[in-house]
Amino acid sequence: MRTGMNRKRHRMKGLLPGLIALMVMLLATSCSGDREPDNSGSQVWVSEFLPFELDEDSYGSMAFHGDALYYISCLQQEEGFSYRLSGYSLADGPLPDVPLSREDGKGMFITSLLAMDADGSFYVIAYVTEEDGSRMHLCRFDAEGKTVYDTDISGETDNADLLAVDSMGRAYISCSISGRPCILLYTPEGSFSGTTVPDVPNGRISSMGRGPDGKVYAGCCSNSGGGDQYFLTEIDFDSAKTGEPCPGFPKGDSPVLIPCPEDSLLSYDRTTLYAYNLADRKGEALFDWLDQGINGSHVAAVNVLEDGRILAVTRDFSSGGSELALLKKVDIAQTAQKQTIILGTLCSNSALRGAVLEFNRGNDKYHIKIREYLDPQTHDRTDALIRMNNDILSDDCPDLLDLADLDLKALASKGLFEDLNAYLDSSCLLDRSDFLDSLLDSYTVGNKLITIPSSFSLRTVFGWSAEAGDAYGWTLDGLMAYADAHPEAELFDNASRSSMMQYLMACNEDTFIDWSSGECRFDSDAFRRLLKFTARFPGEAQRNPGQPSTPVRIQNGEVLLYEADITDFDSIQLPLAIYGDAGTCIGFPSGDGSAGCILVPYGAYAITVKSDQKEGAWAFLENLLASADSSSSFFPPLKAGLEAKAADAVKAEYLTDESGEICLDGNGEPIPKNSGMTISYPDWEYTYRTASQDEVETVLALIDVARPMPFSDTGEIIGIISEEAEGYYQGQKTVDEVAEIIQNRIQLYINEG
């Protein structure tokens, strides 16, 4: 597998007090709209960033004591694992490591759970090696690493999700017993005291921590119907019962609740830091992470310091980078005012948040704020689309729109987006000739360049050349005839009605929708044949236990076609290995039989015509596209980046020994550096190798003909088709009735935009 693990240990760098203000982010916005959290008062939050290197062999939770943070580090040695408690103080820098070991010499594996009490003692959950196997232990160590107690808790549970300690040194372990969320209670001496079972129907204990009053609280999620309900409850150690549920507790991803001096508990998710007041039982959003120049997906731990500042520790596992952020409130007059740009999206991802973070930190004029429409609690896509469409049609329209999962041509046909041609022509960083011509053509709708994705991949279909033909491309009728000629075989492995509908609609926009006139043809004979054809397939994908893998089923003739995702120049090796010399890339069927290769975009954003921040919106797109290069996991939009990626794919580099000599395998052949990733099934496997020039040329040819789907495979149009087709599939309506309903609904959707 093309992966490796660097065990080299980096020490944290000490900091002089004068370096605390090394980097100050005074981030505030000057525009209104949905600028939550509300910073319209006299004070706003600002951030300072401190350079900080977290040991590469560190892992798991972090705990705080005073101004210092602590974490467990692990080093794998020949004789086993060795552990230590590592620490870092804001005042003194790196703290001496505290070795952790057992006095009886037994081996142990310390889990990621860590908690500390007011005296500086720390608590961990560990698996200890015994003669009859490993057993779970709760261990308490003093500040010097000496064992205070070591309690075998495997008689109570074999799993532990959360760990907290109250002000009296009593430990609370969240776990699951017989499928029910429970909390085990242990005295300061390590003796088992009882079990608390919170009332969380169909739910879980999502977080736990010590409050400002020294008591332990649990954040719970239950579902009695109608969606997830979040609440906070106090854990009463003496009675082994939970207190009255405190409603309105913010949903958060953080497993640890953070005490705040102002009778509050903090929690956070990937977008926001929340505070919940224990007295009035109300929650509020303190700030958006991105507004503070922080990627919320990278937040590893949070603490409130004695002076009221908030310390956030971030860690990017992909790059290995880490950082400390100190946040405090200041008068708004002390902050640099930026112009706010709203980027609307159904749901943000780490790539989007990373791009926004990079832009916000580097631009002194504009500040991007993400507006998410998908409710994280209900995940109601229909509601999200309604709210997004309402905003697009209102005066509160976003400046930028994330086109992921949206029906691009339906929106573009209504003139909702700016033409990027003029921006591209006047750019100082980019030139039209820098980009792939096919990519610009793909996203030009009615002579308007709507977007340019920052990267992309391909999706196409492979089959047997002797049966499907050598030509790239076929029609819907051709595919259906091919299926009719092989009634004993499946067209795609475990295809369902809905997946087949998506396959058949993928490259057929011209067959059923005329985007220039807005005319729909879903009441045509061609679409009726498509409905009848998809009705042959099961409602749900049905994979039988013990069924051979997809490659073996294809080679046995049980399955005819293979849908391939081509994310880089190596990806094409898999379908070629499945079919061998007898395979061909035939593509998805299309109305005119042309090449059916789908371009899958990533980071595709459009500027809305209603935006009053078009210059700033383009500055974001320009920055994003200018930084797109061959280092992406997918194909870059720039010609130079794609050429570099192609050259790297065929470059044969070999492993060398300490003397620089090329390493040889058992057959005496050089061992390539970029080989070894294996995709494996119980009955079939393939090990990737350095790509050949022919394979690279094949992928480049596919890129030239690839086109994006005109509507999303999770968007409104395919949703209408799938919803209404069920009436025909279930025998409740005739094919004519269903075709007419689909025609009317999609025509209305196209007309109304």
> Would you say residue 3 has pLDDT above 50?
no
In the block, tokens 């779970």 appear at 136
CA dihedral 714, 716, 719, 724 (to 10 degrees): -170
Q: Of 128, 148, 132, which Cα lies nearest the Cα of 140? A: 148
Whole-number Å distance between alpha carbons of 595 and 608: 31
Query: In angstroms, how far is CA 143 from the centroid of its own chain?
Result: 38
Per-residue model confidence (pLDDT) at position 634: 95
Task: Decide: 23 and 47 in contact? Cβ < 8 Å.
Answer: no
Per-residue tokens: 666: 């058992």
Residue 437, Ramachandran bin (φ over 0: left; ψ between -120 and 50: alpha; else beta) = alpha
Sheet holding 147-152, edge to edge: 108-116, 122-130, 133-141, 147-152
Taking the CA atoms of 575, 577, 579 and 585 in sequence, report the sign of the dihedral they define. positive
450-479, pLDDT tens digit by residue? 999 999 999 999 999 988 877 789 999 999
HSE of 366 in the Cβ direction (CA atoms, 13 Å)?
21
- Peptide bond before residue 37 is cis, with ω within 30 degrees of 0: yes
CATH class of 456-601+705-752: alpha beta
* Model confidence band, residue 329 (pLDDT cutoffs 50, 70, 90): very high
Strands (E), 180-318: 180-186, 192-196, 204-210, 216-222, 229-236, 241-242, 246-247, 258-260, 264-268, 272-277, 282-288, 299-304, 310-315
Give the span between the Cα atoms of 36 and 370, in whole angstroms.
10
Task: For residue 103, count CB atoms less than 10 angstroms from its CB and return exposed for 0-12, middle for 13-18, buried for 19 or more.
Answer: exposed
Strand order in the sheet with 171-177: 162-165, 171-177, 180-186, 192-196
Identify which of 611, 524, 367, 349 has the alpha carbon closest to the alpha carbon of residue 454.
349
Q: Specify the pLDDT at position 660.
A: 82
pLDDT value of position 22: 36
Contact 129, 108 (CB under 8 A): yes
When pLDDT is averaged across residues 584-604 and rounded to a whole number, the result is 92
Tell me what the mean pLDDT of segment 284-292 comes to.
93
Is pLDDT of 228 > 60? yes
pLDDT at 753: 60
Say yes or no: do domains 17-334 and 456-601+705-752 share a fold: no
Q: E strand or H helix at 331, and its extent?
A: strand 322-331
- Alpha-carbon gap, residue 499 to 719, rounded angstroms: 12
Q: With bands split at pLDDT 50, 70 and 90, how would you rate the model's confidence at 713?
A: low
Of 3.40.50.300, 3.40.640.10, 2.120.10.30, 3.40.50.2000, the CATH number of 17-334 is 2.120.10.30
Q: Which helix (H) or strand (E) holds 601?
A: strand 598-602
Kindly report which listed range (373-387, 430-444, 516-530, 551-565) carries the lowest average pLDDT score: 373-387
Range of weakest confidence among 310-324, 412-426, 455-469, 662-676: 662-676
Query: Distance (Å, rounded) from C-alpha 315 to C-alpha 493?
Result: 40
Question: Given the structure tokens 């009436």, which residue do they identify?
Answer: 727
Question: Can you tell me the mean pLDDT for 622-633?
Answer: 88
Q: Between β-strands 68-77 and 336-345, what pairing exists: parallel, antiparallel or unpaired?
A: unpaired
Give me the phi and psi of 593, to 5 degrees please.
80, 10
Most confident of 49-58, 315-324, 487-496: 487-496
Determine which helix (DSSP H) or strand (DSSP E) holds 740, and give its type and residue range: helix 735-752
- Hey, is 531 helix, strand or coil? helix
Kindly tell me the sign of the dihedral angle through the C-alpha atoms of 398, 400, 404, 410.
Answer: positive
Q: What are phi and psi of 677, to 5 degrees?
A: -70, 125
Q: Are 2 and 677 in contact (CB under 8 A)?
A: yes
Burial class (CB in 10 A: 0-12, 13-18, 19+), 109: middle
Instruction: Report the run of H or E that residue 176 belongs to, with start and end.
Output: strand 171-177
Residue 378 reports pLDDT greater than 80: no
The percent of residues in the chain predicted with pLDDT above 70, rounded, is 92
DSSP letter string over 218-256? EEEEE-SSSS-EEEEEEEETTTTEE---EE-PPP-S-SB
Residue ranges per structural domain of the chain:
17-334, 341-454+603-627, 456-601+705-752
Side chain identity, residue 545: P
23 band by pLDDT with thresholds 50, 70 and 90: very low
Partnered with residue 303 across adjacent β-strands are 311
DSSP label of 662: B
Q: Residue 14: is its pLDDT beyond 60? A: no
Cα pseudo-dihedral 250, 254, 257, 259, rounded to 10: -90
Give the pLDDT of residue 5. 30
Q: What is the mean pLDDT of residues 592-609?
A: 93
Write down the pLDDT at residue 17. 35
Domain 341-454+603-627 bears CATH identifier 3.40.190.10:
yes
pLDDT digits (tens, 9 = 90+) for 31-45: 333 444 444 558 889
119, HSE (Cβ side, Cα atoms, 13 Å): 15
Residue 1 has pLDDT above 70, yes or no: no
Query: Taking all residues of the chain, what is their mean pLDDT, rounded to a whole number?
Result: 88
Residue with tokens 């006299």: 42
**Neighbour count for residue 191 (Cβ, 10 Å):** 10
